[in-house]
Amino acid sequence: MRLPLAFAVLLLASAQALAEEMGATDDLSYWSDWSDGDPAKHFLQRMARRPRPQQFFGLMGKRDAG
C-alpha cells in the first residue's frame, strides 16, 4: 500500500516541478502583434474566404447541389 502512495507523491511532485519550469512567460508583445493589419482589409479577406453555400459541409454531411 505504501508503494503506490509513494509513487503517487513522486508523480505529483515531478509534475509540479515540470509545470514550474514550463511556466508562462509574461511576454506582452505577443498580444500587441496579432492585430497589426488594417481592420477593413482583414474584414474583406474574411469575406473573400467565406465558402459558397454549395461548398458548406455541416454536421449532417455534404449538401446536395441539385
Q: Does residue 45 contact residue 39 with C-beta atoms inside 8 Å?
A: no
Note whether residue 60 is domain-resident. no
Q: What is the pLDDT of residue 9?
A: 94
The string of pLDDT tens digits covering residues 25-57 is: 666 565 665 666 677 887 887 777 766 666 666
Domain region containing 20:
2-48
Note whether residue 63 is domain-resident. no
Note whether residue 29 is domain-resident. yes
Note whether residue 22 is domain-resident. yes
| Total number of domains in the chain | 1
Q: What is the pLDDT of residue 65?
A: 57
Note whether residue 64 is domain-resident. no
Q: Does residue 53 contact residue 63 with C-beta atoms inside 8 Å?
A: yes
Task: Classify 10 in phi/psi space as left (phi over 0), alpha (psi -120 to 50) or beta.
Answer: alpha
Cα angle: 26, vertex 31, 34; to 5 degrees: 150
Q: What is the pLDDT of residue 6?
A: 95
> How many C-beta neighbours within 10 Å does residue 54 have?
10
pTM attached to this predicted model: 0.34
Note whether residue 54 is domain-resident. no
